[in-house]
Amino acid sequence: MADKKAGSSSTGGVATGTPAAKAGALSVRSFMASLGVLAALMVVAGILTIVVPSGSYQRVPGPDGSLIVVPGSYAPASRPDYPAWRWATAPFEVLASDDAALAIVIIVFIAVVGGAFALLREAGVLEESVRMLAARFRTKRMALLAVLCLFFMSIGSFMGIFEEVVPLVPLAIGLSLSFGWDVFAGLGMSILAVGFGFSAAIANPFSIGTAQRLAGIPVLSGSGFRIFVFVCVYVLYFAFLSGYVRKLEKKGSSSTIVSSGSASAVPASAAPASPVTGISYNPARGVRFFGWSSLVLALLVMLSSVTRIGSDFVLPIIALGFLIIGTGAGLSAGVPAGKAARSFGAGSLGVLPAGLLILMALSVKRIVVAGGIMDTVLYSASGLLEGSSRYSAAGLMYLLVLGMNFFIGSASAKAFLLMPILAPLADLTGLSRQLAVQAFAFGDGFSNMLYPTNAVLLISLGLAGMSWWQWLKHTWKLQAATLLLTMALLMLAVAIGYA
């Protein structure tokens, strides 16, 4: 989100300037770094369409009308006419593909959220909200961190909330900076926690619920073992993040913002927003509107997650909600209508470059599908499972889902693709279908916070002004440890006959 009054300038909508501005805008360096990574992945995907044979499975309507794979129906197919020059146009072809609605909704979503938070900063609402929260918990920072991490992990684990947390990322970053921590700590206590909640899913309706329904086992059964998994993953994740912030606190009274560009110190009391520029503004009134309206929106989202009513329209609903929240809080604080519109527009333009990254991320899947090799990759991987030992089969199931998550971020879409194949393969290898569901949940989980093809991760990094390479540098040890932990837990499930 760009705010020129913070002393930043912009180039093509990509903000540059002060570190504070970078905490809420997509900086040039982080944009170019992410652009380079995604371009390389597009080229790799294109090369695979040349060297991997084409083929496809038959599909039939599933329980809710979505198409599911028919096991054993794979057949080779002639290679589609997909020239190399179309690799470059794939991001734009996404807008005419089955993912078009998703791409448009995500881009509009980040534009609206970016504009809303820019207006909240202009009115001083974000600074005042963070100041009040920081003042209340300044002597209990680690306790607050533990509670926030548990909360965000829990909503990912129980309700499948993921994209909906994006609007809270700037607020978490502001709280982190006010404690003298940095941008990464803010991301860690919000979006990273939700991602790990998906990996330790207990009642997630989009991963556990859908996978169990397709596997033909009682929905939400086997929760005892998954609660144990949740505790183990939380302990590992919180040990990592709390250790990180303690190291920051040992460095002194100021901390370095982890964003692209040169490292710059930010006082512990600073927030990642521009200062209040109008002396007539009344941030306290804006905070009241912001607090109550955000609570109403949160309750509506949770109700939708539990009842599944309107779950297909969660992102548009949240975008509309934050349009109302940002506008209402800004006007309540006394920001003139004209100034509010300009601030909103500047904030929207500041994050729009992330839209290109979203299209490029979705184009990796587009290239693989248009090249006719998606089902071939799935068929080859599933062939490795046949004749494997129980332990090998469980591990291969996990790795198969982990690999497919690179191309397909949606948990429910991945379940419709994979579970009709994994469930009968589990029967053939002597594993319970419950264990196949657990392997699916692990593969669908923490890698959301690793792969640069995940749209939610890119949006969050864009709001934080951090490149994917910087994110990887800070999280790879945690990701590796989580892979080892979850693989060990899966092997434990095999040993105890989890069913």
pLDDT of residue 312: 66
pLDDT, average across residues 443-452 = 88
pLDDT reported for residue 110: 77
How many domains, the chain? Answer: 1
For the chain, give the secondary structure using H, E and C: CCCHHHCCEEECCEEECCHHHHCCCCEHHHHHHHHHHHHHHHHHHHHHHHHCCCEECCEEECCCCCEEECCCCCEECCCCCCCCHHHHHHHHHHHHCCCHHHHHHHHHHHHHHHHHHHHHHHCCHHHHHHHHHHHHHHHHHHHHHHHHHHHHHHHHHHHCCCHHHHHHHHHHHHHHHHCCCCHHHHHHHHHHHHHHHHHCCCCCHHHHHHHHHHHCCCCCCCHHHHHHHHHHHHHHHHHHHHHHHHHHHHCCCEEECCCCCCCCEEECCCCCCCCCCCCCCCHHHHHHHHHHHHHHHHHHHHHHHHHCCCHHHHHHHHHHHHHHHHHHHHHHCCCCHHHHHHHHHHHHHHHCHHHHHHHHHHHHHHHHHHCCCHHHHHHHHHHHHCCCCHHHHHHHHHHHHHHHCCCCCCHHHHHHHHHHHHHHHHHHCCCCHHHHHHHHHHHHCHHHHCCCCCHHHHHHHHHHCCCHHHHHHHHHHHHHHHHHHHHHHHHHHHHCCCC
Two tokens, residue 118: 């820019």
Expressed as residue numbers, the domain containing 61 is 25-72+97-266+276-495
Asked if the model's pLDDT at residue 195 lies above 80, the reply is yes
Return the exposure string of 84-93: e unless at least 16 CB atoms fall within 10 Å of the residue's CB, then b: eebbeebbeb
Q: 10 Å Cβ neighbour count for 388?
A: 17
- Entry pTM: 0.72
pLDDT of amino acid 434: 93
pLDDT (average), residues 145-149: 90
Distance between CA atoms of 60 and 16, rounded to whole angstroms?
Answer: 50
Look at residue 20 and tell me if it is in a domain: no
Q: Which pLDDT does position 279 carry in this prediction?
A: 46
165 with 194: CB under 8 angstroms?
yes
pLDDT of residue 453: 86
* 3 belongs to a structural domain: no
Give the pLDDT confidence of 283-332 residue by residue, as tens digits: 888 888 888 887 887 777 767 766 667 666 766 887 888 889 889 988 88
Task: Give CA–CA dist 229/438, Å, rounded.
Answer: 10
* 11 located within any domain: no
Would 472 be classed as within a structural domain?
A: yes
Instruction: List residues bridging with 243 in a β-sheet.
Output: none
Q: How does the average pLDDT of the chain come out, rounded?
A: 80
pLDDT at residue 316, as a whole number:
81
pLDDT band at 28; cut points 50, 70, 90 = confident
Q: How far apart are CA 455 and CA 115, in angstroms?
A: 19
> What does the pLDDT look like over 51-85, one tens digit per residue?
999 998 888 887 666 777 888 888 998 889 889 99
Higher-pLDDT residue of 43, 387 = 43
- Residue 475: predicted pLDDT: 95
On whether residue 177 sits in a domain, the answer given is yes
Residue at 17 is within a domain: no
Q: Measure Cα distances from 181 to 225, 265, 266 in Å.
A: 35, 11, 9
Tell me: pLDDT of 438 over 90: yes
Residue 18 lies in a domain: no
Q: Is the per-residue pLDDT at 20 higher than 60?
A: no
Confidence (pLDDT) at 280: 66
Residue 82 inside a domain? The answer is no
Average pLDDT of the segment spanning 408-434:
83
The Cα angle at residue 378 between residues 375 and 384, in degrees rounded to 5: 145
For residue 127, pLDDT beyond 80: no
Which of the residue ranges 25-29, 444-448, 478-482 has the most confident prediction, judged by mean pLDDT? 478-482
Are 201 and 437 within 8 A, CB to CB? no
pLDDT digits (tens, 9 = 90+) for 448-467: 899 988 888 888 888 788 88
- Residue range 338-380, pLDDT digits in tens: 888 888 888 888 777 878 888 888 888 889 889 998 888 888 8
- Percent residues over pLDDT 90 in the chain: 23
What pLDDT is stored for residue 308 in this prediction? 65
| Rounded alpha-carbon distances, angstroms, from residue 346 to 49, 114, 126, 251, 318 | 40, 9, 17, 35, 20
Give bridge partners of residue 67 from the DSSP assignment.
61
Average pLDDT (184-205) is 89
Lowest mean pLDDT among 106-110, 184-188, 363-367: 106-110
Residue 214 has pLDDT above 90, yes or no: no
